[in-house]
């Protein structure tokens, strides 16, 4: 029965104009919703079926990015592919990140070329340029670091290189680097902060500023990238930071999220050195004892929490026409409403 349902879904998706990999994820669903509102025919490619997409009337193909044939079937008949699916996180085996983020992206690129897809929008991360030091107002000219502190940014950087190399070979591509996507429906950023509220400690003096991006703004940027590529193919192969363009102290943002959930602000603090050493010890413990889950602190996370992360988005404004339409204050208001009404509803990742 399940196989027949999958086959039926595959047949119905054939010929649709847009594919979103990871369409059941947080960003993927937002992109699917915006495309559907515009009247586009949208298909999602994820590892499992998602009730939210069923309610939106979105066709779904179930498969894994490591399955080249499944990816090709999903890309057939599409004009645009939004590749949002990825393995994210600060902990895990390099091989697992590589399989999804690098090999999976290679499969998407190959499928796009074989199926005659015109435009590919790839979702990356600013962490690909993080070298452990402050990133203040950096733009797209910043190089990759010599050493990566986590498998996630390393494999995302490798995937970026693949997407850039694919540009100009009959496929137009754009890479977007959204930083810390949040908002109603968020299954990761805000819920983790809320769940760990009693255990969280500030790392450093708390003055390091970060920029983030509200979910609707992130979705808008992806649609704008595809639209601009249609009329300006010379943008192919370019990379863009996208954010709120509103850097604030990271712990002010954390406290604002806690306040949205009716929780008190963070009170305790530790030095960056202590956090880094604790992360190293926990990494050793988790590897040696083969503990499940991820450590509450890692060296990569300690450095992220203690440093500034905000970016120059003038290129996205100029080339894509991107302008964050939902302010941080308005986004927090919407987040608070969601936390009060819908937070406990289950959300399964793509």
Model pLDDT, residue 189: 86
Q: What is the pLDDT of residue 343?
A: 63
Domain spans, the chain: 2-341
Per-residue pLDDT reduced to its tens digit, 31-68: 999 999 998 999 999 999 898 898 888 999 999 999 99
**Angle subtended at Cα 132 by Cα 127 and Cα 133, rounded to the nearest 5 degrees:** 105
The residues assigned a catalytic role are: 152
| CA 44 from centre of chain | 16
- pLDDT tens for 243-253 read 999 999 999 99
> What's the rounded mean pLDDT across residues 2-24?
61
HEC string of the chain equals CHHHHHHHHHHHHCCCCEEEECCCCHHHHHHHHHHHHCCCCEEEEECCCCHHHHHCCCEEEECCCCCHHHHHHHHCCCCEEEECCCCCCCCCCHHHHHHHHHHHHHHHHHHHHHHCCCEEEEECCHHHHCCCCCEEEECCCCCCCCCCCCHHHHHHHHHHHHHHHHCCCCCEEEEEEECCEECCCCCCHHHHHHHCCCCCCEECCCCCEECCEEHHHHHHHHHHHHHHHHHCHHHCCEEEEECCCCCEEHHHHHHHHHHHCCCCCCCCEECHHHHHHHHHHHHHHHHHHCCCCCCCCCHHHHHHHHCCEEECCHHHHHHHCCCCCCCHHHHHHHHHHHHHHCCCCCCCCC
Looking at the predicted structure, is the pLDDT value of residue 258 above 50? Answer: yes
* C-alpha span between 209 and 227 (Å, rounded): 32
Q: Which residues contact 283 (CB under 8 A, 6 or more apart)?
A: 91, 295, 298, 299
Query: At residue 274, does pLDDT exceed 70?
Result: yes
Which pLDDT score, from 0 to 100, does residue 109 have? 97
Average pLDDT, the chain: 90
Q: What pLDDT shows up at residue 35?
A: 94
pLDDT at position 6 is 47
Could you name the CATH architecture of 2-341?
Answer: 3-Layer(aba) Sandwich (3.40)
**Both structure tokens of 283:** 């990494």
Question: Is the pLDDT assigned to residue 11 strictly greater than 70?
Answer: no
**Mean pLDDT lowest for which of 120-129, 146-155, 192-201?**
192-201
Say what the pLDDT of residue 292 is: 87
Q: Would you say residue 5 has pLDDT above 50? A: no
- Amino acid 217: pLDDT: 98
Q: What is the pLDDT of residues 82-130, one digit of tens each?
A: 999 999 988 889 999 999 999 999 999 999 999 999 999 999 999 999 9
Residue 231: pLDDT over 90: yes
Q: Is the pLDDT of residue 158 over 90?
A: yes
The residues, any chain, with a CB within 8 Å of residue 326's CB and separated by 6 or more, are 214, 216, 217, 334
* pLDDT at residue 23, as a whole number: 95
Rounded mean pLDDT of 234-242?
A: 97
| Mean pLDDT score, 133-158 | 95
pLDDT higher than 50, residue 154: yes
- Is the per-residue pLDDT at 315 higher than 60? yes
Please state the rounded mean pLDDT for residues 116-145: 96
- What mean pLDDT comes out for the span 329-345? 83
């Amino acid at each position: 029965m399940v196989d027949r349902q999958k086959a039926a879904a595959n047949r119905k998706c054939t010929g649709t104009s847009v594919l979103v990999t990871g369409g059941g994820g947080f960003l993927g669903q937002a992109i699917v919703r915006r495309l559907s509102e515009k009247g586009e025919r949208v298909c999602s490619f994820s590892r499992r079926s998602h009730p939210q997409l069923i309610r939106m009337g979105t066709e779904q193909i179930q498969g894994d990015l490591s399955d080249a044939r499944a990816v090709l079937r999903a890309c057939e008949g599409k004009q645009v592919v939004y590749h949002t699916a990825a393995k994210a996180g600060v902990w895990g085996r390099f091989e697992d990140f590589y399989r999804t983020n690098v090999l999976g992206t290679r499969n998407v690129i190959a499928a796009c070329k074989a199926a005659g897809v015109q435009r590919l929008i790839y979702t990356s991360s600013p962490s690909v340029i993080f070298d452990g030091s402050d990133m203040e107002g950096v733009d797209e000219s910043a190089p990759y670091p010599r050493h990566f502190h986590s498998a996630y940014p390393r494999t995302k950087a490798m995937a970026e290189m693949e997407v850039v190399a694919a540009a100009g070979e009959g496929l137009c591509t754009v890479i977007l680097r959204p930083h810390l996507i949040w908002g109603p429906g968020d299954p990761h950023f805000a819920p983790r902060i809320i769940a760990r509220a009693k255990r969280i400690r500030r790392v450093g003096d708390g003055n390091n500023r970060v920029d983030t991006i509200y979910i609707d703004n992130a979705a808008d940027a992806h649609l704008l990238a595809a639209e601009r590529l249609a009329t300006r193919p010379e943008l192919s192969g370019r990379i863009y930071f996208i954010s709120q363009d509103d850097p604030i102290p990271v712990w002010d943002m954390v406290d604002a999220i806690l306040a949205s959930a009716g929780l008190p602000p963070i009170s305790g603090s530790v030095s960056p050195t202590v956090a880094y050493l604790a992360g190293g010890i926990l990494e050793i413990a988790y590897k040696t004892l083969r503990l499940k889950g991820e450590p509450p602190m890692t060296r990569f996370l300690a450095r992220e929490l203690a440093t500034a992360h905000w970016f120059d988005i003038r290129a996205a404004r100029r080339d894509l026409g991107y302008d964050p339409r939902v302010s941080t204050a308005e986004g927090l208001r919407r987040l608070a409403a969601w936390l009060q009404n819908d937070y406990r509803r289950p959300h399964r990742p793509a």
